[in-house]
């Protein structure tokens, strides 16, 4: 038979109140853990996608540098400024790629 709140001692009421608070805290913690897990899965998927894209871009930048190094001497014969312009673009692309790559932890790459 359930007793009403008038029959409870102050110690009993305090313990029941504490139990309610602990249960509420655990429920909040469980909700946060669920959110954390979902974010962790999203982060992992994004990381894997970025790693794949970085690998593709690394290959593309390397190929571009190789093509540019072969064509710049030919362009230089015709126009020094065009050769410098291409060289500057390639340098800027390489620098931008390195900057983007640096944004990822080494362990991910």
* pLDDT at residue 7, rounded to an integer: 83
User: Mean of the pLDDT values across residues 3-23?
Assistant: 87
Tell me the per-residue pLDDT of 26-38, one tens digit each, with 9 for 90 and over. Answer: 999 999 999 999 9
| pTM for the predicted model, two decimal places | 0.65
**Which H, E and C letters describe the chain, residue by residue?**
CCCCHHHCCHHHHHHHHHHHHHHHHHHHHHHHHHHHHHHHHHHHHHHHHHHHHHHHHHHHHHHHHHHHHHHHHHHHHHCHHHHHHHHHHHHHHHHHHHHHHHCCCCCCC
Tokens 């540098």 label which residue?
65
Q: What is the pLDDT of residue 1?
A: 44
More confident residue, 80 or 28: 28
Q: Residue 108's pLDDT is what?
A: 61
């Amino acid at each position: 038979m359930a007793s009403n709140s008038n029959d409870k001692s102050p110690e009993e009421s305090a313990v029941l109140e504490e139990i309610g608070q602990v249960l509420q805290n655990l429920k909040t913690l469980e909700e946060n853990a669920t959110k954390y897990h979902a974010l962790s899965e999203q982060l992992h998927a994004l990381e894997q996608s970025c790693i794949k894209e970085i690998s593709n871009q690394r290959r593309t930048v390397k190929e571009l540098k190789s093509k540019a190094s072969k064509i710049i001497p030919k362009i230089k014969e015709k126009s020094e400024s065009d050769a410098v312009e291409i060289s500057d673009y390639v340098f800027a692309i390489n620098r931008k790629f390195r900057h983007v790559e640096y944004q990822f932890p080494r362990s991910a790459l």
